[in-house]
Amino acid sequence: MKIYCPFVIDESGYQELLSNIDSANSNDTLIITSCSGGFVDYALDLAKRIREKGLKTHVEFICASAANLLYFAGTERTATDYARFLLHQARYDYYYNVNVNSNILETELENLRQTDILISELLANWTGVDKDVFLMIMDMNGGEGKWISVDELISLGIQLTKIVEKEQINLIAARFIDKLNKINNLQQVKVEEKVEEKSKSPLSKEIEQQLLLLQEEGKKFDEWAYHVDKAARAVPDIVDSINDLTDKLNQLEEQVTNKLKQLEELVDELKRKDLKKQQVNSVNRLVEGQTITSFSKFVDQIERLK
C-alpha cells in the first residue's frame, strides 16, 4: 500500500498522516511527492511511528525541512534522480513575546540549538552518517541550509536508491518487448498449425483471442509509455523553471530592499529640509516682529515732538 505525505505537516496534515500510518502494514511505502516541512514535534512523532511500522519511504520532487525526518526514518529509501532535499536550522516561523529580556532570549536560543542537535542525532542514527555532517549542512547560508541532490546525499554515505526515469522506461520497454515476443510466438504457432479459416480448431481460436487481447494491451502500453517518457523529459525543465523563478524572486527582493532603503533616505532628507524651513520661518517671524515693534516706537516719538 502507498501512503502519501501532505504538502505541509500542520495539525490537519499530521492527523491525516497519523491515521494512514496506523493503518499501514510493514514494508508499505510513504510517498513524499512534495513537502515543504512543518512542525518539528509532529514530524518527530510521525518519524517514530514510521520506524516502528517498518515503512519504506520515497521522494518524488521536494523534501524540505521537517519532512526529512519522515524520509530518513524509512527502513528503505528511494528517490527520483531529480528530487531535492533541504536541511536547515530549526526556527520559529512566527515568534512573538512580551517583556522579553536577555535570559529569555538565551533560553529560546538554547532550545533551538538543542533541537538542531536532536534532529542531527536522529538522522545520524538512521543513516549511519556522523551527526556533524548534518549540522554542517544545516548551518550553511546563515542557518538557512542548502538544497541537496540525490547524488550529494549518496556521496555523504547515506544509503538510498536513486531511481532514474530513463531506467524505469527501459524496464517498461523490456516488458513490452516480452509481450511482443509472446505475440510473435502465438503467430508462429498459428502458422505451423496451418488451419484454414473455415475450419479453425479450438486451439487456434484460443490463440487468436489471446493474440487480439495482447495486441490491444500492447497499444495501450505503447501509449502509456509515450506519456511517461514525455513527462520524464518535462521534469528537468520544470525544476529549471522553478530554480529560475527562485533566482528572479531573490533579485526582485534585493531590488525592493534597495528601493526601500532609498525611500527611507529620501524621507530623512525631506525631514531635514522641513526642519530647516521651519527654522527659517521662525527667524523671519522674529525679525518681522522686532521691525514692527521698532517702527511703533518711532511713530510714538514723532507724535511726542508734535
Alpha helices (runs of H) in 128-196, residue ranges in sequence order: 131-139, 150-155, 165-193
29, 71 in Cβ contact below 8 A?
A: no
**Burial class of 160 by CB neighbour count within 10 A (0 to 12, 13 to 18, 19+):** buried
Q: Which CATH class is domain 2-163?
A: alpha beta
Q: How does pLDDT run across 243-294, given as a tens digit for each residue? A: 666 677 677 777 767 777 877 787 777 777 777 777 666 656 655 555 555 5
pLDDT of residue 235: 58
Enter the pTM of the model.
0.55
pLDDT of residue 195: 46
Radius of gyration of the chain (CA): 37
pLDDT of residue 92: 81
Residue 264 CA to residue 191 CA, distance in Å, equals 89
> Which amino acid is located at 247 in the chain?
D
Q: Which position has the higher pLDDT, 1 or 122? A: 122
CA 136 vs. chain centroid, Å, equals: 20
pLDDT of residue 24: 94
Q: Is 266 helix (H, G, I), strand (E, B) or coil?
A: helix
Split at pLDDT 50, 70, 90, the class of 223 is low
Range with lowest mean pLDDT among 53-57, 177-181, 192-196, 247-251: 192-196
Split at pLDDT 50, 70, 90, the class of 36 is very high
Each domain of the chain, given as residue ranges in start order, spans 2-163, 165-256
Q: Is 1 helix (H, G, I), strand (E, B) or coil?
A: coil
pLDDT of residue 211: 63
In this model, does residue 230 exceed pLDDT 50?
yes
What are phi and psi for residue 25, nearest 5 degrees? -110, 165
55, 75 in Cβ contact below 8 A?
A: yes
Give the sign of the dihedral formed by CA 52, CA 27, CA 74, CA 58: negative
Split at pLDDT 50, 70, 90, the class of 222 is low
73, 44 in Cβ contact below 8 A?
A: no
Split at pLDDT 50, 70, 90, the class of 182 is low
